[in-house]
Amino acid sequence: MAEKNVLMTGNRGYIGRIMADLFLRSGYNVSGIDAGYFGTNGFAKSMNLRNPKVQLKMDFRDFTDFKGMDAVVHLAGLPNDWAADLNPKMAEELNSKATIDLALRAKAAGVKRFIFASSCSVFGANGDKLISEESKPAPVTPYGFSKLHAEEGLLKLNDDSFTVTCMRNATCYGVSPRMRFDMVLNNLVAYAFVEGKVKVLSDGTAWRPIVHIRDVSVAFLKALEADREVVSGQVFAVGGYNYTVSDIAKIAKAAVPGSMIEFNPQGQKDPRSYNVDFTKIKKALDFSCEWTPEKGAKELYEAYREYGLNKESFQQREFWAGKQLEYLIKNKFVNDKLYLNSTFVD
Ligand SMILES: NC(=O)c1ccc[n+]([C@@H]2O[C@H](COP(=O)([O-])OP(=O)(O)OC[C@H]3O[C@@H](n4cnc5c(N)ncnc54)[C@H](O)[C@@H]3O)[C@@H](O)[C@H]2O)c1
């Protein structure tokens, strides 16, 4: 365990809550930085997760004290298309420029590794063909572009003293205390649960690889623990299973007794379609998914039952990254640079 002291940005978010717990249980000293855009939505209260001893409620753009840090795991940012579309300029600024600046400061301070949460959205509009890290990226949204630009800038900083690894996460699913309903499996199981109908808004043909947040966390841990030469300057697609949205709808339906699938008759083809080959991460990091979407859908169903999810709570802003950011902007809890001000109490 060479890189023992880990700074994790965005550790109070959907993935971060689970990833920080895994890293802490694996013996790492994790310090967390999170601006606290989302607070807690009271979900999955019974999950017994560890939290970092050092938790800074601040913007990662202001962080400079890297003393003693061996590695940075960077999760913070605008996490999806909806949130990024609200302010594409700031999405580029936060997800790309500020991310590269963070890495520059970390490198100058002697941090050895930087692991970046990128996204399979970088693959973008790639239709049905099987694609990999070697394929030409084709992002179609401000979010996808911001992640691609971040990767490009970060990889330029990679050298013998500073190991950069970009992890292109597939669309996530799974239960977290900072729960989100804006990702396909979480969303479709929730629709099935609260309305009895799995609502497919597109024509359902787009390819979407999906991955459990516990598997993503394991992949990041493996990247941190891998020999430098295995991960130095590398991009990894993180996932294991590709499905069409229709397939995912069938999995959601099977998990929720008595539910049915409802296709939108006007549903359009979603241009964001990518069918990803996950061989590289399997071979390099010996990573494969422990979770299947079928098992994940059952976990979601049980968590929705335990929480007592209903039509109203399903729509609560805290469960949707875009809705919450919209609320923060509208009520001036964030300024035009998306800095959260102290009047926001979560
Ligand atoms: N969830 C997915 O399906 C998915 C898929 C691919 C990639 N990713 C990427 O993984 C990362 C984590 O995703 P998530 O789903 O946990 O998102 P999330 O929105 O739930 O969590 C992000 C956290 O970062 C914090 N944050 C945002 N801007 C900040 C800033 N300027 N300074 C400090 N903290 C800030 C937020 O308060 C939040 O707690 C993101 O970069 C996202 O783009 C997520």
Does any ligand 1 atom lie closer than 6 A to the CB of residue 119? yes
Q: Quote the ligand 1 centre to 161 CA distance (angstroms).
A: 27
Residue 120 placed within a domain? yes
State which of 51, 93, 169, 178 you would mutate to test the pocket of ligand 1, scoring each by most atoms of that ligand within 8 A of its C-beta.
Answer: 169
- Report the pLDDT value the prediction gives residue 343, as an integer from 0 to 100: 73
Does residue 27 fall inside a structural domain?
Answer: yes
Has residue 301 been placed in a domain? no
Tell how far the Cα of 73 is from the centroid of ligand 1, in angstroms.
12
Centre of ligand 1 to C-alpha 37, Å, is 10
Judge if the beta carbon of residue 237 lies within 6 A of ligand 1.
Answer: no
Give me the pLDDT at residue 39, please. Answer: 73
CA of 181 to the centre of ligand 1 (A): 14
Q: Which residues of the chain have pLDDT under 70?
A: 1-3, 345-346
Chain mean pLDDT for the chain: 94
pLDDT value at position 43? 86
Residue 337 resides in a domain: no
- The domain in which residue 39 lies consists of 5-173+211-243+274-291+324-330
* Ligand 1 contact, 194 CB (< 6 A): no
Are 128 and 271 spatial neighbours (Cβ–Cβ below 8 Å)?
no
CATH number at residue 130: 3.40.50.720
Measured from the CB, is residue 334 less than 6 Å from ligand 1?
no
Q: Is the CB of 274 under 6 A from ligand 1?
A: no
Tell me what pLDDT residue 1 has. 52
Domain total in the chain = 1
Asked, for residue 318, whether it belongs to a domain, the answer is no
Q: What residue's CA is closest to ligand 1, atom 39?
A: 13
Cα–ligand 1 centroid distance for 80 (angstroms) = 8
Q: Is 324 in the pocket of ligand 1 (CB under 6 A)?
A: no
The answer to whether residues 7 and 172 touch, using CB atoms and an 8 Å cutoff, is no
pLDDT, residue 2, reads: 59
Q: Is the dihedral of CA 301, 128, 83, 73 positive or negative?
A: positive
The predicted structure's pLDDT at residue 127 = 73
Q: Strand 197-200 relative to strand 71-74: parallel, antiparallel, unpaired?
A: unpaired
The pLDDT value recorded for residue 287 is: 98
C-beta contacts of 331-339 below 8 A and 24+ residues apart: 334/37, 336/90, 337/90, 337/93, 338/78, 338/87, 338/90, 338/94, 339/35, 339/59, 339/61
11 inside domain: yes
Is 346 within a domain? no
What ranges make up the beta strands (E) of 37-112?
54-56, 71-74
Q: Is the CB of 169 under 6 A from ligand 1?
A: yes
Position 70 scores a pLDDT of 97
- Nearest-5° Cα angle at 167, 44 to 292: 50
Sheet with strand 171-173: strands edge to edge: 171-173, 207-212, 241-244
The secondary element (H helix, E strand) that includes residue 129 is strand 125-131
In the prediction, which pLDDT does 270 show?
81
Query: Would the CB of 296 count as within 6 Å of ligand 1?
Result: no
Gap from CA of 179 to ligand 1 centroid (Å): 12
Does some domain include residue 258?
A: no
Residue nearest to atom 23 of ligand 1 (CA): 10
pLDDT computed for residue 337 by the predictor: 92
pTM: 0.96
